[in-house]
Amino acid sequence: MAIKKISILGSTGSIGVSTLEVVAEHADRFDVVAMTAGTNLDLFVQQIVSFRPQLVAVVSAGDAARLRDRLGDEGPEVVSGVEGLIACATHAEAGIVVSAIVGAAGLVPTMAAIEAGKDIALANKETLVTAGALVMRAVAEYGVKLYPVDSEHSAIFQSLEGHRDKDVKRLILTASGGPFRERDPQTFDNITLEDALAHPNWNMGQKITIDSATMMNKGLEVIEAHWLFGLPGDRISVHIHPQSIVHSMVEYIDGSVIAQLGVPDMKTPIAYALSYPERLPLDLPPLDLCQLGQLTFMEPDSERFPCLDLAYAALAAGGSAPAALNAANEVAVDAFLNGRISYLGIPELIEEVMSKHQVVVPGSIDDVLQVDQWARREADGIL
C-alpha cells in the first residue's frame, strides 16, 4: 500500500497535534513531508525531531533563525512568513494538506494548495467562511477533494454517504453549548476570561474555546456547512447537545434522521479525512451508550448566544458579509483575551462593525483580504 504524503498547516495547534497522533498510530500509512507552526517553538522542535519533515515554516524570520540553530545541520529546510506557509502547502510530494491554522491566516496557503492540485483536509473553517464561493469554485476547477475535519461537518459528510442530495431536508449541527448553556444571561456581565475558557467537553486553543462559549464557532460552522453541502441557511439548524456524542445529523424528506455518534475526540474525523473512503482503527475508548444513559438536546437561546444570530444574518446577506463578520470576531475575541473588552463586548463590537459594512461580491482572494482588513481597522477604531 502506497504511503500517503501529508503537509500539516498548524502542527502545534490542537488539530495538528491530534493529526500527528493519528500519523504515529499508522506510521506505515502516512509520512509528514512539511509542517508549519506559530510561535510554540519548543513543541515544534519535538515534532520535527519525531516526524522528520523535509520542510518546515514559522511566522517570523527571527523564529526561523532560532529554529535552525536548535535543529542544527541535520534539520529540515526552514522557511518563514506567508511565503513559507505557501511553500509547505504546495510541497511537491504532498498529496493531502491538513489545513489547521486558526483564523483567516489559513486562507491564502489553503487556496495555494488547492491551486497546486492538493487534496485538502479542512479544519480551518475561516477558509470557507471568508471566501466560500471562490474556494469551492477552485476546488471544482482544479479537481481536488475537500474533506471536512470539523467533527460536525465530518458527521454530516458521513451521514450523507449513500444518499441522494435531493432527498435531504435539512442539516442539524450539534453544539455543546459551552460553559454558559445554563447560566443566567443576567449574570453575563460578570463573566471572566477563566469562566469563558472552561469548556466542559473539548480541549481546544483559546480562540476556538471563546468562540465556542459565544457560539460564534457554531455560526461559522453554519456558513461553512452552506458551502460544503450546498444548502441555504434556513435548512441548516443548530441543536445544543451537552454530551457531544451526536456530532451532527441529516434529516431526510421521509422523516428519517441519520446521525454520526462517537466519543468526543478529534482523531476520528481527522483519520477519516486522511484515509477516506477507508476507516482506520484508532486507540480510543468505545462509545458506551448504556453507561452514558441519556442524550439531551435543546434549542439555542438568542439572548445567551447573539453571535449565532449574527452569523446567520451574515450568511443571509451573502457576498463579503461573512468575511467582515469573521474579521470583526477575531479582533473582538483577541480584545477579550487581552482584557480590553468584557465578554458581552464581543457581540456588541461585531454587531457595530457589521452595521457599517457595505456588502460587495469579492472577485478574488485579494478582494476578500481587503474586506478582512477593513473590518479589522473598523473594529480597532471602535475599540
- Mark whether 144 and 176 lie in a shared domain: no
Identify the pLDDT of residue 129.
96
Q: Looking at the structure, do residues 163 and 269 belong to the same domain, yes or no?
A: yes
pLDDT for res 26? 97
Q: Are 67 and 202 found together in one domain?
A: no
Statement to judge: residues 238 and 307 lie in one domain: yes
The percentage of residues in the chain with a pLDDT greater than 90, rounded to a whole number, is 92
Mean pLDDT in residue range 369-377: 97
Reply yes or no on whether the pLDDT at 118 is more than 90.
Answer: yes
Residue count of the chain, please give it. 383
342, 234: one domain = no
- What pLDDT score does 202 carry? 62
Mean pLDDT across 173-183:
93
Say which CATH number the domain at 65 has: 3.40.50.720
For residues 310 and 322, membership in a common domain is answered with: no
Residue 52: predicted pLDDT: 97
CATH code, domain carrying 354 = 1.10.1740.10
Question: In the structure, what pLDDT confidence band is assigned to residue 16 with cuts at 50, 70 and 90?
Answer: very high
Point out the domain boundary residue: 148, 168, 185: 148
162 with 273, same domain: the answer is yes
Mean per-residue pLDDT, 206-220 = 93
* Single-letter amino acid code for the residue at 272: Y
pLDDT tens track for 54-80: 999 999 999 999 999 999 888 899 999
The mean per-residue pLDDT over the stretch 351-361 comes to 98
Residue after which a domain boundary falls, among 115, 131, 148: 148
Minimum mean pLDDT among 101-115, 117-131, 232-246: which range?
Answer: 101-115
Same domain flag for 87 and 165 = no
Containing domain of residue 282, as a range?
Answer: 153-317
> Does the pLDDT at position 205 exceed 90?
no
What is the structure's pLDDT at 126?
A: 86
Domain boundary among 117, 148, 179: 148
Whole-structure pTM value: 0.93
Task: Specify whether 169 is located in the same domain as 306.
Answer: yes
Position 230 scores a pLDDT of 97
Q: Are 303 and 338 within one domain?
A: no
pLDDT at res. 139: 98
In this prediction, what percent of the chain has a pLDDT beyond 70?
A: 99
Q: What is the pLDDT of residue 105?
A: 83
For residues 125 and 187, state if they share a domain.
no
Domains: count for the chain: 3
Q: For residue range 242-298, what is the model confidence (pLDDT) as tens digits? A: 999 999 999 999 999 999 999 999 999 999 999 999 999 999 999 999 999 999 999
Backbone phi, then psi, for 168, in 5-degree steps?
-80, 130
326 & 239 share domain: no
